[in-house]
Structure 1
Amino acid sequence: MNPLLSRLQPYPFERLRQLFAGVTPAAAYSPISLGMGEPRHPAPQLVKDALIGHLAGLGHYPATAGEPQLRAACAAWLQRRYGLALDPGSQLLPVNGSREALFAFAQTVIDPSQGPPFVVCPNPFYQIYEGAALLAGARPYYACSDPARNFAVDWDAVPANVWQRTQLLFLCSPGNPTGAVMPLAEWQKLLALSERHGFVIASDECYSEIYAHDPPPLGGLQAAAASGRGDFKNLIAFTSLSKRSNVPGLRSGFVAGDAALIKSFLLYRTYHGSAMGPSVQAASIAAWGDEQHVQENRARYREKFARVTPLLARVMQVALPDAGFYLWARVPDAFGLDDTGFAQALLAQYNVTVLPGSYLARAVQGHNPGAGRVRMALVAETEECMQAAERIVQFARSHADRPPSSIST
């Protein structure tokens, strides 16, 4: 077996399953899950129609690079969304969702032959970044976010000798789980570091179309172009239809940026066997070409956040995120519970599932920046999210003044 597999930590949802193994959910309440970031709004009809209408394509092997029509549709979306003119033949590549692409990209660009390099990622973070780094023979370096600065990552705390040995930087803006959006100045700092040290930037932008207010979140390619780096050297952006169009099961997205990196990534994927099926390509063309369903989707999230956030803010430290569909809430100190204990007790007493923040981060110098927080995914319909929020308020008020030993799980 590959010995690097032993370095992987259990995935957050496996840890959550183990955490809840001895918990009996309150039978008096219907189950509500805010734990998993899986969009549950209806998939657009135009995507369904395109998928069903192109089933004849199942009789053919697809090209790894995708059909020209799909690449053109993705490039047209980049033009409309960010004002960028990319060559769809050399600067863009369809992928089977951003998750598999983020993992595979690390295997493409990491060279561990001179000793393990660093892969820098935010902390808290999407666990694929860590797994991709470890299985590529690299060492993850965790750059912690700062709650005092709206959870902006403290890139200045990364030592110079780490940047010198860094080959890949994972970014996530809007962030998971914090919802923080990187401003242009932060992008320019990281682009300058990339230019100085030669590392590649992988910009995970799968939440870019779910935002609370205008203007839309700045994209990595957009920031590079605004900084005079129109060739996008050492920069690749990853995006997906899963959140934008409520089709996580479609497994469709694309990467775009540095043509040299796209060329190498295409070579890797040719052997990896990751071509997108023809019917999925047709459905993806329909999705990238339509904005009405995206606007309607965004409006539904805005309504949920506008109603749920003030309610939860009565009992928890929580604020409207810049973007994304998560609330990153602090467990009240008065409970005497850590984030895992809070999740257990909430499930046991009110049948609501949340994800402990410590599962989404790693301890740095003895401190886990996710500890004491929980991530709530507002992916269900508005009324169900409101029910969950009302139960959390009841839970908080009934336990705030009780001694920790009396809070049953």
Structure 2
Amino acid sequence: MIDRQNLQAFHPFTRLRSLLEDLEPGPAPLGASEPLALSIGEPKGQPPAFVAEEIAANAAGWSGYPPARGTPAFLEACRGWLERRYDIAPGILDPQRHILALPGTREGLFFATMATVPQQRDENGAPPVVLIPSPFYHVYAGAAVSAGAEPVFLPTSSETGFLPDYQSVPEEILERTALCILCSPSNPQGAAANRWQLADLLTLARKNGFVVAFDECYAEIYTRTPPAGALDVVDQLGGSLDNLLVFHSLSKRSNAAGLRCGFAAGDEKLITALNALLLVGGAGVPRPILAAATRLWQDDGHVEDIRAFYRQNFEIAQEVLGNRFGFSIPDGGFFLWLDVGDGEAAAKKLWQEAGIRVLPGAYMSVADSEGYNPGAKYVRIALVFDAEVTKAALGRIAEIL
């Protein structure tokens, strides 16, 4: 269903552009001069001012190639944050062996797929499998296809708590699985797996010999309580990091999407393999960026301000939408996942009548063999603008739909 020679064909924003390109946008809310893009999860706030200060103070580092794994200070800052944030026993994480700087987690997830999916097929000629939730972040499927794997999409819905049901995966699929990717809190629904779900998945992976990549990019954007992470369950499963990779980013946590800096942590063998591929075809993180990122991971205060920003926007959504469109405040993230009956039709209507760009849920999902697409009736809306714009936009969306 996905051709690796034409990955853009299934890219959600390419499809959205094609959907709307021949349609004239209506007048945007608040009389804005340009249409309002609620389709992309790009923070509109700014990172702390010390980011620019650190980059300027370390400008001499621009002349040198980036260090392969990250600077010792950066790796130590990541370890320190992980130990503050998660229930990790002392000594489990060695920064030099278990943590790797990344130029954004999207790149890390792509190369991790390349590093974990074997080239050989099984005795029946079937390719290895990558388990992917549906809806999904597009890099998951693109990486699986590029690695020569078969992406197996696990539909999520309100009935499954918007998380995959791994117990329903057939044994013959599990036997071929090389990698499983889980996003928690999930993009787009914002559902967070609890500890027993994370432990069960990691246990299943170790039983069947596959790797789990836990995409936890939205772990710090939560509305009530901090969501559990994969590292929370390591100690209860014997203290081993086997079969486990977790990915974290500063894009959402610190309003620093343009910094292009994150990290992976986990199984030393997997970290080494991921680093080897990045050395061949990836880009390291420059030293000035690492200096700024080090300070961001050391500072938790600014993150609470960012959480409060999104919390206010969800309160506005609660006020404006009530219980319409299946709305409820999610565990984490900053997206609305609204049941509008037909996501494509709603996206066109909102564009033509209000100059509001939203993403049809079908563009984040894949239809099964019977034609069922779990995202078809939804739209994803990013609550990234300030309270005034958010309230005006959601008011128009509710009125039009």
TM-score computed with the length of structure 1 as normaliser: 0.92
Deviations 1:323-348 (A, max 9, x none): 000111100x5xxxx21011001111
Following superposition, the deviation at residue 260 of structure 1 comes to 1.2
User: Are 1:213 and 2:224 an aligned pair?
Assistant: yes
User: Are 1:116 and 2:116 an aligned pair?
Assistant: no
User: Are 1:180 and 2:191 an aligned pair?
Assistant: yes
What is the DSSP-based 3-state SS (H/G/I as helix, E as strand, rest coil) of the residue aligned with 2:245?
A: strand
Following superposition, the deviation at residue 217 of structure 1 comes to 0.7
Following superposition, the deviation at residue 4 of structure 1 comes to 3.6
Q: Using the TM superposition, name which of 387-396 and 150-159 deviates more.
A: 150-159
For residues 379 and 318 of structure 2, the distance between their equivalents in structure 1, rounded to whole angstroms, comes to: 14
User: Are 1:303 and 2:312 an aligned pair?
Assistant: yes
Q: What is the one-letter code of the residue matched to 2:20?
A: F
Following superposition, the deviation at residue 62 of structure 1 comes to 2.0
Identical pairs, percent: 39
| Structure 1 residue aligned with 2:177 | 166
User: Are 1:387 and 2:397 an aligned pair?
Assistant: no
| Structure 2 residue aligned with 1:403 | none
Contact 1:252 1:284 in 2 (8 A): yes
Following superposition, the deviation at residue 184 of structure 1 comes to 1.5
1:366-385 alignment, distance < 5 Å: 366-385=371-390
| Structure 1 residue aligned with 2:44 | 40
For residues 63 and 131 of structure 2, the distance between their equivalents in structure 1, rounded to whole angstroms, comes to: 42
For residues 209 and 389 of structure 2, the distance between their equivalents in structure 1, rounded to whole angstroms, comes to: 47
| Structure 2 residue aligned with 1:62 | 66
Following superposition, the deviation at residue 393 of structure 1 comes to 1.9
What is the DSSP-based 3-state SS (H/G/I as helix, E as strand, rest coil) of the residue aligned with 2:294?
A: helix
From 364, 367, 389, give the equivalent of 1:360. Answer: 364
1:2-401 alignment, distance < 5 Å: 4-6=4-6, 9-27=9-27, 29=29, 30=32, 31-84=35-88, 85=90, 86-114=93-121, 115-214=126-225, 216-228=226-238, 230-313=239-322, 315-331=324-340, 333=341, 338-364=342-368, 365-396=370-401
Q: Using the TM superposition, name which of 34-43 and 307-316 deviates more.
A: 307-316
Deviations 1:331-368 (A, max 9, x none): 0x5xxxx2101100111111111110000000113210
What is the DSSP-based 3-state SS (H/G/I as helix, E as strand, rest coil) of the residue aligned with 2:325?
A: coil
Following superposition, the deviation at residue 28 of structure 1 comes to 6.2
Query: Which consecutive unaligned segments of at least 5 residues does structure 1 have?
Result: 397-409
Superposed CA RMSD in Å reads: 1.5
What is the DSSP-based 3-state SS (H/G/I as helix, E as strand, rest coil) of the residue aligned with 2:133?
A: strand
For residues 273 and 242 of structure 2, the distance between their equivalents in structure 1, rounded to whole angstroms, comes to: 14
After the TM superposition, list the runs of 4 or more consecutive aligned residues in structure 1 that deviate by more than 3 angstroms. Answer: 6-9
Contact 1:8 1:131 in 2 (8 A): no
For residues 352 and 128 of structure 2, the distance between their equivalents in structure 1, rounded to whole angstroms, comes to: 44
Q: What is the one-letter code of the residue matched to 1:390?
A: G
What is the DSSP-based 3-state SS (H/G/I as helix, E as strand, rest coil) of the residue aligned with 2:151?
A: strand
Q: Using the TM superposition, name which of 41-50 and 245-254 deviates more.
A: 41-50
Query: Which consecutive unaligned segments of at least 5 residues does structure 2 have?
Result: none
Q: What is the one-letter code of the residue matched to 1:381?
A: D
Following superposition, the deviation at residue 8 of structure 1 comes to 6.2
Contact 2:67 2:287 in 1 (8 A): no
Following superposition, the deviation at residue 308 of structure 1 comes to 1.5
Quick one: structure 1 residues 196 and 382, their matched pair in 2 at CA, closer, same or farther if it must change by over 3 Å?
A: same
Residue correspondences, number: 387
For residues 76 and 184 of structure 1, the distance between their equivalents in structure 2, rounded to whole angstroms, comes to: 21
For residues 28 and 280 of structure 2, the distance between their equivalents in structure 1, rounded to whole angstroms, comes to: 52
For residues 8 and 198 of structure 1, the distance between their equivalents in structure 2, rounded to whole angstroms, comes to: 32
Contact 1:151 1:180 in 2 (8 A): yes
